[in-house]
Amino acid sequence: MDFSLSSEQEQLVDTVRRFSQAELPEIAREIEETGEPAPRAIIKRYAELGLLGTNIPEALGGGGMTHLDAVLVLEETAKISPAVAFPIFESSFGPILAISHFAPEPLRERVVPKVCAGEMIVAVAMSEPDAGSALTDLKTTAKVDGGKIIINGMKRWCSGAGHSDAYVVYARMSDDPGAKGIGAVLVEKDRDGFTFGKPEHHMGFRGIPSADMYFENVEVPEENLITPAGGFRKLMEAFDLERCGNTTMSLAIAQSALDQALAYVQERKQFGKEIVEFQAVQLKLAEMKMKVDAARLLLYRAVVNAQKGLPSIADSSIAKCFANEMVREVTSTALQLMGGYGYSTEFPLEQKLRDGWGWGIAGGTIDIQKINIASALVGRRFDQRR
Ligand SMILES: Cc1cc2nc3c(=O)[nH]c(=O)nc-3n(C[C@H](O)[C@H](O)[C@H](O)COP(=O)(O)OP(=O)(O)OC[C@H]3O[C@@H](n4cnc5c(N)ncnc54)[C@H](O)[C@@H]3O)c2cc1C
């Protein structure tokens, strides 16, 4: 077991860090100010630099690198802001994983290379007003009929709603109850009958648009089928890797909050000395560092164990859950250490706290991850309905 990065990985981190620090802060500031998503020009730039789909096979237009490499790339960009890094998250850890792993070849070849080239953004639409944690209660239907699939229903909280070019829509595709009836279909934004509600405003996540989505007899060709009814388990397997992207976002936000607090406490003077000289401040720094490192190790374990495949539900849920709780604690401590400057919107720390909070809801809540972990421990799923 070796806990150090290879020299190639060190170089990758260095290159992406230098690029991110030079080119992303201004764009991130604009995104935060306007609420507009990352501009297409920067997504093309990511593609040129090989930062999209780092861990997607080369045959599908990706970088053919490891999941750990993709984590390193995402962390360096997300330290600037999760919104500016979101296209990278989507291309390496987002819904195209369900397509690249499980969709029939023609659909895979139609969609994945475009995402890796920065020409197409794909979002995931699972949640509904009455189906959040209880995802298998979803009601949206997708009926295969004479070479077409007809979709009816509504979705909520989709990150990228309205802005993305296409959506991986989880839908009920047979009369089988619960998970058994669920499959997924790709729906392009411009399909007749597909509309969006008003933009939603979150506490953080500015520049990652969200809106209700309505499907009224929306028709797509049967070739847009990702997986038919019965494919829910596969979709969740792909989602195990998406959880590692969520973990990386939490880690990046926490690491950058720690970096900022560390610099601040060595500059800020009170009572005639730098506040880092106070033991209470030192203890906070140490606690932050231990938590960030622990989250990093759990994340690295999940993606390294997965090798080129998909991580286990236990590894990915443990990493996500720990990192989601950790980022709330670390950003909160960093804010406190920076006093009035931490709380001021003129300084970047408060945004980190707001952005950091959301990851413990997105992608399955913290407590749902804990249920996954307990299930893995005892070797069976717990029925939440009985
Ligand atoms: C920033 C953000 C981005 C998102 N992006 C997407 C996206 O791109 N696509 C998408 O489809 N969805 C997305 N979501 C939705 C997200 O997946 C859901 O919000 C999440 O699964 C929780 O569902 P809910 O909000 O309905 O909460 P609920 O399921 O109603 O949960 C409310 C509370 O009850 C607890 N709870 C519920 N059931 C149990 C149980 N059995 N045991 C213990 N506690 C329980 C939960 O832990 C939570 O604390 C996003 C959400 C957020 C906040």
Q: Which ligand 1 atom is nearest residue 202's CA? A: 1
Q: What share of the chain is helix, strand, coil (3-state, %, to 5)?
A: 55, 15, 30
C-alpha to C-alpha distances, 46 to 61, 63, 126, 277, 289, nearest whole angstrom: 14, 12, 27, 41, 30
Instruction: Show me where the domains of the chain are located.
Output: 7-116, 122-230, 233-378
Q: What is the pLDDT of residue 1?
A: 86
| C-alpha of residue 146 to centroid of ligand 1, in Å | 35
What is the gyration radius of the CA atoms in the chain, in angstroms?
A: 21
Query: What is the C-alpha to C-alpha distance for residues 152 and 260, in angstroms, rounded to an integer?
Result: 47
Instruction: Measure Cα distances from 296 to 15, 19, 289, 327, 338 in Å.
Output: 20, 22, 11, 12, 24
Q: Tell me the average pLDDT across 189-202.
A: 97
Q: Write out pLDDT tens, residues 64-113.
A: 999 999 999 999 999 999 999 999 999 999 999 999 999 999 999 999 99
H or E stretch at 3: none
* pLDDT band, very low/low/confident/very high, at 137 (cuts 50, 70, 90): very high
Measuring from atom 9 of ligand 1, which residue has the nearest CA?
158
Q: What is the mean pLDDT of residues 24-31?
A: 98
Q: What is the mean pLDDT of residues 1-25?
A: 97
Q: Whose CA is nearest to atom 6 of ligand 1?
A: 158
Whats the size of the chain, residue-wise? 386
Q: What is the mean pLDDT of residues 201-225?
A: 98
Q: Which of 1-5, 9-13, 149-153, 269-273 has the lowest mean pLDDT?
A: 1-5
Alpha-carbon gap, residue 260 to 330, rounded angstroms:
11
CA of 89 to the centre of ligand 1 (A): 19
- Residue having the nearest C-alpha atom to atom 50 of ligand 1: 362
Report the pocket of ligand 1 as residue ranges, CB < 6 Å: 123-127, 132-133, 157-159, 202, 205, 358, 361-362, 364-365, 367-368, 371, 384
Distance CA 218, CA 193 (A): 5
Output the CA 127–ligand 1 centroid distance in Å: 8
pLDDT for 323: 98
Q: Quick: pLDDT tens for 299-356.
A: 999 999 999 899 999 999 999 999 999 999 999 999 999 999 999 999 999 999 999 9
Architecture category of domain 233-378 in CATH: Up-down Bundle (1.20)
Q: Is the domain 122-230 a CATH 3.40.630.40 member?
A: no
Task: Kindly indicate whether the domain formed by 7-116 is annotated with CATH number 1.10.540.10.
Answer: yes
Spacing, Cα 206 to ligand 1 middle (Å): 18
- Portion of the chain with pLDDT greater than 90, in percent: 98
CA angle in degrees (0–180, nearest 5) for 89-74-328: 85
Contacts of 85 (CB under 8 A, 6+ apart): 74, 77, 78, 249, 252
Report the distance separating Cα 335 and Cα 354, nearest Å.
Answer: 11
Verdict on whether the full-model pTM lies above 0.75 = yes
